[in-house]
Structure 1
Amino acid sequence: MPQKGTREATHAGSWYDGRPSVLSAALDEYLEKVPTTVDGKELPIPKARVIIAPHAGYSYSGPCAAWAYKSLDLSSAKRIFVLGPSHTYYLKGCALTTFASYETPFGDLQVDAETTEALRATGKFDTIPPSSDEDEHSLEMHLPYLWKRLEQTHGKDNTDKFPPIVPILIGDNSGAAEKEFGRLLAGYLGDPENAFVVSSDFCHWGTRFQYTRYVPAADRLDELRALSSSRRGGGGGDNTTETPIHEGIRVLDKMAMDAVESGRHDDFVENLRVTKNTVCGRHPIGVTMAALEAVGGGPFKFLRYERSSLVETVSDSSVSYAAFYAVV
């Protein structure tokens, strides 16, 4: 199937500024606020070819994503895989784009047609419907950041040196299916000429997300319960909380992030089975963790954790964001 057409930057002007100069300045500001060293290593971290970064509007998650992108080593990248969840249609398995390029306010990033076709030829991938591709934000939100980091790596006037991308939507898969896709992508992940961007937010908390679970501490997981939307947190009955609700959310996210850092795919799957934490990119993370295990790379290292707001009552809501890198 030949790749054709350009996917428009459908979220420019709403989820992030569509004016190139304004967007560039915003990304520069986010990146400049990240320290120049992490874990005693100067950024970007050599061989940190894999990151997890959030995909919300830049005013919410842009600062957190900057930690992942400033750590990302693109110096040897000949192609960049971008793995994200599907928010626009139900997907079982994984799916590939039909577009030949993806628009950003800075210019178009080309799709690696040869790699995409090689993956399609395995018979393991579906095709993303073009309308769903254009509606989806989990891939698009990473492209301006990638352009910025490629500029910093190769220079603004050397866009011909920018590597192509391989966009993949990762759907609703069992742990076993994640391992299968992880093994399939392991050869690419183990290649030093490939970089991987994994798109995910963490806990989506609130009645609008149908997730109001609370636990006071990680070692008291047997007390995990859902707070009722009929009363406010701390107002008595089932909604009395020992700590602020937002601290309970932090506990749940910390357990999920610890599972990511464990490097053990099974631990991550089990954590989400128990807590039901609404990590929207759980399957892209799971597939990548399985691939890292297959090649003996990683594990992921934690960089940053932020939230859109601090929940005080059940009527509040928040989305959590986390950044990681992995050396392969």
Structure 2
Amino acid sequence: MHFSHTMQLEYEGLSMTRIPVVAGSFYEGQSDILLKRLANSFLKGLGPGKLPEGEPGNSRKLRALVSPHAGYMYSGMPAAHSYLRLFEDGKPEHIVILGPNHTGRGGRLAVCDEDWETPLGTVKYDRQLGQQIVDQNKTAMIDCVAHSAEHSIEVQLPFLQFIFRKGLSFVPVCISDQSYEVCESIGNTLAKLGEKMDILVIASSDFTHFETAESAKKKDNQALEYLENMDPEGFLRFVRGHGLSICGAGPIAAAMIFAIQRGATEFKVLKYTNSGEVTGDKGHVVAYCAAEIL
């Protein structure tokens, strides 16, 4: 058996472990330095200004979150807004992370059935929920190839480990087919499963890429209006029709479809910013949005 140099598999009983592929590039590869980066993401600059200290809350009103997935230098602080809200809301029984497919590898709706390692330890694959997703959704399949070099889901995990410390499991779903039909199908599947279990969905997405800060904000604000009106189909149609470069538009739409069926009535932006706030270059930015759906 041959593995790519970007990924290794290790047997642990009946499970395998995905080795991180962007540790040391998107985020620090050493645990102590990574912990400092995460703490600073909460405390400094564009972050929320406080740490997730003490015990997590227990209200569990959140249905879904939107979190960016760039290098932590740029998107760590906005992402911290989403994860502070999750900490304050409480630890869900089950977590699903929906991410886009940047590499073109693998299937249309790919569930990876491996445990995932980060510099902070291992996050277990939620086998119970993952198998039910694949069983109940005709497009979903067990496929780790789609995840082998994909960063959008991996970069969420250290934040989850930072706020909840231990006992974490999740289901990673990489969406390469971001048609409304596929997004609706996975949203519906998760909503049906959510009738019997406590599920939180995290949609991993950056917003407009490689435009001026002013242009990006104008386009993103128009797209966000659809989300604030709880209109995932209109959001996806607008993004496609106007050529917006919101890479995780499909995961966001799927998360909203799930959330609406689970009783959510509000989409709230927690933080909107762009890479130019860090680099000083407002002429060529990537925009980031942290948001909650409840």
- TM-score under structure 2 normalisation? 0.83
Matched residue type, 2:190: L
Q: Would the aligned equivalents of 1:36 and 1:43 in 2 still touch at CA under 8 Å?
A: no
| Greater mean alpha carbon deviation, residues 72-81 or residues 192-201 | 72-81
Which residue of 2 is the match for residue 61 of structure 1?
75
| Greater mean alpha carbon deviation, residues 120-129 or residues 16-25 | 120-129
Q: Match of 1:88, SS?
A: coil
Structure of higher CA gyration radius: 1
RMSD: 2.8
Pair 1:79-2:46 in alignment: no
| Greater mean alpha carbon deviation, residues 118-127 or residues 104-113 | 118-127
Instruction: Quote the offset at 1:317 in angstroms.
Output: 2.8
* Residues paired across the two proteins, number: 272
Which residue of 1 is the match for residue 292 of structure 2?
325
- Gapped runs of 5+ residues in structure 1? 152-158, 207-244
- Gapped runs of 5+ residues in structure 2? 1-12
Q: Would the aligned equivalents of 1:182 and 1:289 in 2 still touch at CA under 8 Å?
A: yes
> Hey, which bits of structure 1, 4+ residues long, moved more than 4 A?
42-46, 189-192, 310-314
Measured against aligned partners, the alpha-carbon deviations of 1:160-181 in whole angstroms (never above 9, x if no partner) come to xx23111111222322332222
- TM-score under structure 1 normalisation? 0.75
CA distance in 2, matches of 1:64, 1:29: 12
Instruction: Quote the offset at 1:80 in angstroms.
Output: 1.1
Pair 1:127-2:181 in alignment: no
Structure 1 residues 291 and 67, CA gap change in structure 2 (3 angstroms): same
Q: Would the aligned equivalents of 1:45 and 1:72 in 2 still touch at CA under 8 Å?
A: no
Of the three residues 18, 22, 38, the one matched with 2:29 is 18
CA distance in 1, matches of 2:121, 2:191: 30
CA distance in 2, matches of 1:144, 1:14: 14
Which residue of 2 is the match for residue 223 of structure 1?
none
Q: Would the aligned equivalents of 1:49 and 1:326 in 2 still touch at CA under 8 Å?
A: yes
CA distance in 2, matches of 1:79, 1:312: 39
CA distance in 2, matches of 1:43, 1:30: 20
Of the three residues 292, 295, 305, the one matched with 2:259 is 292
Structure 1 residues 277 and 45, CA gap change in structure 2 (3 angstroms): farther
Of the three residues 154, 163, 167, the one matched with 2:168 is 163
Pair 1:28-2:39 in alignment: yes
Q: Would the aligned equivalents of 2:153 and 2:204 in 1 still touch at CA under 8 Å?
A: yes
Instruction: Quote the offset at 1:4 in angstroms.
Output: 2.7
Identity %: 28
Instruction: Quote the offset at 1:129 in angstroms.
Output: 3.8
Which residue of 1 is the match for residue 9 of structure 2?
none
Matched residue type, 2:154: E
| Greater mean alpha carbon deviation, residues 279-288 or residues 84-93 | 84-93
Pair 1:274-2:289 in alignment: no
